[in-house]
């Protein structure tokens, strides 16, 4: 076997290093965007909706020729990472997208459990992150100072607003004087929703008869439901993900609990009606939009999504599409693509007409001013009941 001359070896090594460097460089005609979604774990339907809407949004803008920045057209290149709905995987996914993929913006995660740590990484790295569905206030707030993060935004309303809407609906809509609360203490968003509901309900003159918790993965709720049954509350507030709701409701019915259940946006998956069937019929929950919305923007989105995926888009899909929409609008204002420019353009958004309603950010905050809708489950479908505006 012949030995490779040292000079030839050095030339090969230099060529390989040059190729590797080129692979890591941002391509001149491409804008790199990352997505972090819950493709596996406890809420895979959430991740699936996010991924589907993301692919649809990117395909639409690329098919139209891309995004014009400084008079030049750029195609969008998307990288999708699975966080399995976990905090540590969310942080590592964001880190990978920033350091290995070189993205200028990230969409996701959706659940607050993952979005909060992911947002910390994005903020420290000065890379824009937009969460479609994380309603917990901690996502956009600096954990040390309590001030708003500069690079973190959301497409949805906050739990501080949602909890108040639900408490008002319980008191005024359902005429409830007493309420029990059962929630997943390990899920940041659900814990926050329970806390705000309790405070708002009591502030409005209501009484909380029971405040019970469980942990992600639990399947037996009989002990908590037995305690709740003792005081016979007028309503049971259940901020729980769609995968847990059917189990809780069915066990409650077997124990003889007959009061109405009230849910949050964590219910808003079509999987809920498949799993819960008639057991959830008549119950109410808050959400971000309804696929039967009569607005032109929503109808066009729903029609296109249906044609592509053969099913109606849920609120996660709609919010993901809006997150991409507001990002693309911001990118279209730029003269050059860099992290600081992307952040500044997004922060200056005063009007974006989205599927889930208008999005606008006030100076110094990544939290949009948006309303909510109250939906009712009837005959296996989500039906519009009322609108709640901030």
Tens digit of pLDDT for each residue in 212-222? 999 999 999 99
Rounded to 10 degrees, the C-alpha dihedral 54/370/174/248 comes to: 30
Q: State the average pLDDT over residues 62-79.
A: 96
127's CB contacts (< 8 A; 6+ apart) are: 98, 103, 104, 105, 106, 151, 339
Report how far residue 344's alpha carbon sits from residue 340's, in angstroms, rounded to the nearest whole number.
Answer: 6
Tens digit of pLDDT for each residue in 87-120? 999 999 999 999 999 999 999 999 999 999 999 9
Q: Specify the pLDDT at position 143.
A: 87
Query: Predicted confidence band at 28 (pLDDT cuts at 50, 70, 90)?
Result: low
Higher pLDDT, 7 or 95: 95
Among 263, 289, 288, smallest CA distance to 276 is for 263
Which stretches of the chain are DSSP H helices?
A: 6-24, 44-63, 87-99, 112-125, 159-168, 188-203, 222-230, 245-254, 270-276, 296-309, 315-331, 339-347
Tens digit of pLDDT for each residue in 274-328? 999 899 999 999 999 998 887 899 999 999 999 999 999 999 999 999 999 999 9
191's CB contacts (< 8 A; 6+ apart) are: 183, 184, 185
The answer to whether 321 touches 355, Cβ cutoff 8 Å, is: yes
- What's the distance, CA 216 to chain centroid? 18
Of 52-56, 65-69, 231-235, 290-294, minimum mean pLDDT range: 290-294
């Amino acid at each position: 076997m012949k030995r490779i001359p040292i000079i030839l070896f050095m030339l090969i090594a230099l060529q390989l290093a040059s190729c590797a460097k080129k692979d890591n460089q941002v391509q001149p005609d491409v804008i790199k965007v990352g997505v972090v979604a819950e493709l596996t774990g406890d809420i895979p339907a959430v991740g699936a909706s996010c991924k589907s809407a993301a692919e649809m949004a990117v395909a639409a803008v690329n098919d139209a020729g891309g995004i014009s920045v400084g008079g030049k057209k750029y195609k969008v290149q998307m990288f999708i990472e699975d966080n399995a709905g976990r905090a540590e995987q969310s942080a590592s996914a964001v880190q990978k997208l920033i350091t290995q993929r070189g993205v200028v913006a990230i969409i996701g995660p959706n659940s607050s459990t993952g979005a909060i740590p992911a947002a910390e990484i994005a903020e420290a790295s000065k890379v824009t992150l937009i969460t479609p569905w994380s309603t917990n206030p901690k996502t956009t707030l600096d954990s040390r100072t309590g001030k708003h993060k500069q690079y973190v935004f959301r497409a949805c309303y906050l739990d501080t607003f949602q909890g108040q809407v639900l408490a008002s609906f319980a008191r005024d809509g359902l005429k409830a004087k007493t309420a029990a609360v059962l929630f997943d203490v390990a899920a940041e968003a659900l814990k926050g929703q329970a806390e705000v509901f309790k405070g708002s309900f009591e502030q409005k003159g209501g009484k909380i008869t029971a405040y019970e918790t469980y942990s992600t993965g639990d399947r037996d709720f009989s002990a908590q439901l037995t305690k709740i049954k003792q005081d016979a509350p007028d309503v049971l507030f259940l901020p729980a993900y769609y995968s847990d709701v059917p189990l809780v409701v069915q066990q409650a019915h077997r124990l003889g609990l007959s009061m109405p259940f009230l849910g949050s946006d964590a219910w808003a998956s079509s999987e809920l009606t498949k799993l819960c069937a008639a057991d959830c019929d008549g119950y109410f929950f808050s959400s971000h939009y309804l696929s039967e919305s009569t607005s032109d923007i929503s109808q066009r989105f729903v029609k296109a999504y249906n044609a592509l995926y053969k099913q109606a888009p849920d609120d996660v899909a709609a919010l993901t599409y809006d997150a991409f929409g507001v990002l693309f609008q911001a990118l279209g204002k730029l003269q050059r693509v860099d992290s600081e420019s992307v952040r500044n353009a997004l922060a200056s958004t005063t009007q974006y007409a989205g599927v889930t309603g208008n999005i606008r950010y006030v100076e110094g905050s990544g939290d949009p001013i948006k309303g909510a809708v109250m939906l009712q489950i009837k005959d296996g479908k989500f039906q519009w009941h009322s609108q709640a505006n901030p």
